[in-house]
Each structure stands twice: as structure tokens, then as C-alpha cells.
Amino acid sequence: MTPPPDKRAQDKRARPRNLQSRSTLAGEAAAAAAEVESALLAPQDSESAAFFDVDNTVMQGASIFHFARGLHKRKFFTTREILGAAWKQAYFQIAGVEDPEHVAEARASALSFIAGHTVQELEELGEEIFDEGMAHRIWPGTRALAQMHLDEGQRVWLVTAAPIEIAQIIARRLGLTGAMGTVAEHVDGVYTGRLVGEMLHGPAKGEAIKALAAREGLDLSRCSAYSDSYNDLTMLSMVGDPCAINPDSKLRAHAREHGWRIRDYRTKRKALRAGVAAGAVAGAVVGTVAAGVAVKGRRD
């Protein structure tokens, strides 16, 4: 039965509020789960910090794809289940931008393959997978920027839509302060296949940073933020020192208009885009199938 007009109007008004509520919950959950390495010394500059997006900012490509590729090698799911994701990863690496439909589909399906597995299992596998398929994809330029903030006595957090477990591993391996990421619900150490709130994407990242800043006593006007995506405009706009890293076209234009710093480490990829995009996409998919490896995942 079609609801009366007034009921439809009420539902339409309620949806944005619900989305905002879920983004707030996701941000608060990410901030609460943010890991701070106990071995780190107290920061010299306690009111300043730097926040880095991960995918295509700190790491080439999408971290969840590389993680899922490692899980596939360990028989977590079949090649047939993830052939479509090979195209999404190839597109992402060539174009350097995200397709909202790809993002939504990939993130929803990403939860399905961890349901029933334990947190400890995923964390242990994550350490192995980082070494074999992720460490060499870190952008040296971005890593140097993060180290610069650490050398200045500031704390550095990753802020990503990738699962918090992956984000924490990357942060540990790079010697950063900690990480905030999408929090997957688990009961008694076993994943349920549901999220806590929403994915840490767009406005949810802003909520996470606000919650962390309140907890840690940060002055956001003295903080820095780095991202490649226009979707992270909330995060970038809330700090005093925003920087576009490997930016998509919309973020590049916005950064230029507002006088933000821009850093691009993709010189070779830019040259490739002009003439071999189609061939590279086909090669990525064919190579994936030939190797018996495919990828599945989500974007930050």
C-alpha cells in the first residue's frame, strides 16, 4: 500500500537525520577505538596533530583490496565471487577517483566475508598481508610528510573508511600515533557482519576527528589534514592546514581556489592515463584471473 503524502514527506525528512545520526555514531566509535601506541613518548606539541586519509593518500590503491587479495590467497572466498571487484580496483588505480556505486557495493559485500571470523584471526592475517602486499605500496612522499609531523612533536592519526583493524596495522608499521577506521561489530571476539553506525566516510570522518580532538585536547585550527578525495572535504575544511595529496579533479580545483597545499606523487600514473587506460584495465583483470587472484573491497 502506498503511504499517504504526509507520511512519505515525514519519511523523507527522517532519512537525512538518520544518516547524520549513523555518521555521528560511526565517528564516535572510530574515535573510541583509536589506538595509541603505549610506547610513544608524550608529544612535545600537545595541541597539534595531523590526520591522513589512507587510500591513494598514504597507500597506492585501496587498502581493503590489497587485504582482500591476501584473504583470497588464504581461501576466504572464491575467485568467482570477486571478479567484479577486479574491475573496480583497476578503475580506481587508473582513474584515481571513486565511483559511489562501486563504493557502496564493495563495502556492503566486504562485511560478508568476515562474519563468523574472530578479531584475533583477522589481526594476525593482517600483519602477514601487510608485509606481502601492502608495505611496498606506501607513497614515500606521504610517509615523509607524516614523519615530519612526528619529528615536530605532533601526533599523527590515520582516518579511513577501511576497517579499523587494517588502519591500526598500517599505523603501527609506519610508527604513527594511531588510527581511526570503520568499526565492524563483534560479539565475544567474533564478527557479526554488521557495522557500528555507518562507514567512516565523508561526514563521519569529521565526527571522528571532532570526538578525538575533544578527548585529546587538540586545537583543530593548529592541526593538518591530508586526503586525495573531494569526499573528504569535511575533514580537510575543519583544520587550519589542509593539504590535497594525489587529488581528484574536484579536490584539486577546490584546493587551488582556496590556496591549499597540493602534493602529487603519481607522475608515472598520470602518463599512463592518457594512452593506455583501457589496456591497463583489461590487463589488470586478465592478470588477476591468470594468477588465480582477485580482489574485493572498499575505498576511504
Catalytic residue list contains 53: yes
Give the whole-angstrom CA distance, residue 242 versus residue 235. Answer: 9
Query: 186: which strand partners?
Result: 191
DSSP per residue over 75-111, as a string? TSS-HHHHHHHHHHHHHHHHH-S--HHHHHHHHHHHH
Catalytic residue among 11, 45, 53, 151: 53
In the chain the first and final C-alpha atoms are separated, in Å, by 39
DSSP 75: T
Paired residues of 157 in beta bridges: 51, 178
Q: How far apart, in whole angstroms, are the C-alpha atoms of residue 150 and residue 31? A: 20
Residue 55 among the catalytic residues: yes
78 C-beta neighbours (distance < 10 Å), count: 10
Instruction: Provide the edge-to-edge strand list for the sheet that holds 224-227.
Output: 178-182, 155-163, 49-52, 224-227, 241-245, 261-263
Report the Cα 276 to chain-centroid distance in Å: 27
Q: Is the dihedral of CA 90, 93, 97, 101 positive or negative?
A: positive
Give the three cell numbers for residue 23. 555518521
- Residue 286 burial (CB count, 10 A): 11
Nearest to 227 by CA among 58, 66, 34, 31: 58
Consecutive H or E run containing 242: strand 241-245
Q: Which of 6, 11, 45, 55 is catalytic?
A: 55
Distance CA 181, CA 160 (A): 5
Beta bridge partners, 156, equal 50
Enumerate the active-site residues. Answer: 53, 55
